[in-house]
Amino acid sequence: MESEEYYLGRIAYEAYCQTTGWKSAVTGADLPQFNVTSQAIRDAWIAAAQGAAKPATAVRDREVDKLFQDLMVSDRDSRQDVKRKAVVEVPARLLKGLSDVRVHLAFNHDGKQEVVEDAVTVKLVGTSKRLERLTLHLDLELKGKG
């Protein structure tokens, strides 16, 4: 049974071989199976795999941490990622023979509402006169312009 280190080295070596078509990227020579390579080559691949598997070490610096926190706060203020799931009940007649769905967006500021009509139009193909339920997945990204 092979050790974990040997296994990781072999997996890394074989990934390299598969990527190059089992040819050396340097010389073009055919590459052998991992177990028949020289000990030096196996050791090098094992060390490379171990190095890649190590987590990155973080350098602690209060100045860097403060700058990073400032960046995070400003990003939080300028972006939001909100996820909601909703069920909207509509009269059944609206789904029968449906050709498209239009989404309007309403924005409220200090009691005033501004509507963007037809912000999204989803055309439907081949809907039935018997349609009873439509599941519509939208991933909206609202960007300020102008």
Domain count, the chain: 2
**Domain ranges, residue 66:** 1-83
Does residue 49 have a pLDDT over 80?
A: yes
Sign of dihedral through CA atoms 69, 71, 74, 75? negative
Question: Does 99 reside within a domain?
Answer: yes
Does residue 58 have a pLDDT over 90?
A: no
Residues 62 and 109 in one domain: no
Instruction: Outline where the chain has alpha helix (H).
Output: 4-19, 39-53, 62-78
Residues 79 and 90 in one domain: no
Question: Does 140 reside within a domain?
Answer: no
Residues 90 and 54 in one domain: no
Residues 93 and 61 in one domain: no
Average pLDDT, integer, range 19-26? 92
Least confident of 35-44, 68-77, 113-122: 68-77
Banded model confidence at residue 38, pLDDT cuts 50, 70, 90 = very high
Average pLDDT, integer, range 15-43? 93
Residues 56 and 14 in one domain: yes
Residues 88 and 128 in one domain: yes
Question: Does 141 reside within a domain?
Answer: no
Residues 95 and 106 in one domain: yes
Question: Does 139 reside within a domain?
Answer: no
pLDDT at 117: 92
Choosing from 83, 101, 126, the residue where a domain stops is 83
Q: If you write DSSP's letter for every residue of 104-127 in order, what string do you get?
A: EEEEEETTEEEEEEEEEEEE-SS-
Q: What is the phi/psi pair of residue 109, to 5°?
A: -135, 115
Does residue 138 have a pLDDT over 80?
A: yes
Choosing from 83, 101, 122, the residue where a domain stops is 83
End-to-end CA distance of the chain: 65
